[in-house]
Amino acid sequence: MEIKVLIVDDHKIMREGLRFLLKDKANIQVVGEAENGRDAIGMVAKLKPDIVIMDIAMPDLNGMEATKMILNDHPGARIIALSSHSGKEFVTGMFKAGASGYLLKDCAFDELFDAVKAVHAKHTYLSREITDVLVREYVTNIHQAIEDGPEELSTREKEVLQLIAEGNSTKQIAEMLFISVKTVESHRKKIMQKLNMFTVPELTKHAIRMGLTSLDI
User: What is the model's pLDDT at position 185?
Assistant: 95
User: What is the model's pLDDT at position 148?
Assistant: 47
Decide if 78 contacts 98 (C-beta within 8 A): no
Residue type, 18: L
DSSP codes of every residue in 153-182: PPHHHHHHHHHHHTT--HHHHHHHHT--HH
- Please tell me what DSSP assigns to residue 57: S
Residue type, 122: K
Mean pLDDT over 87-91 rounds to 82
Residue type, 85: H
For the chain, the domains span 3-143, 155-210
Considering the segment(s) 3-143 as one domain, its CATH architecture is 3-Layer(aba) Sandwich (3.40)
Entry pTM: 0.64
Domain 155-210 of CATH type 1.10.10.10: yes
Q: pLDDT tens digit string along 21-73?
A: 898 787 899 999 999 999 999 999 999 999 999 999 888 889 999 999 999 99
Q: pLDDT tens digit string along 183-196?
A: 999 999 999 998 88
pLDDT band at residue 216 under the 50/70/90 scheme? low
The answer for residues whose C-beta is within 8 angstroms of residue 106's C-beta and 6 or more apart is 84
Q: pLDDT tens digit string along 110-156?
A: 889 999 999 999 999 988 778 777 777 666 665 565 444 456 888 88
User: What is the model's pLDDT at position 85?
Assistant: 85
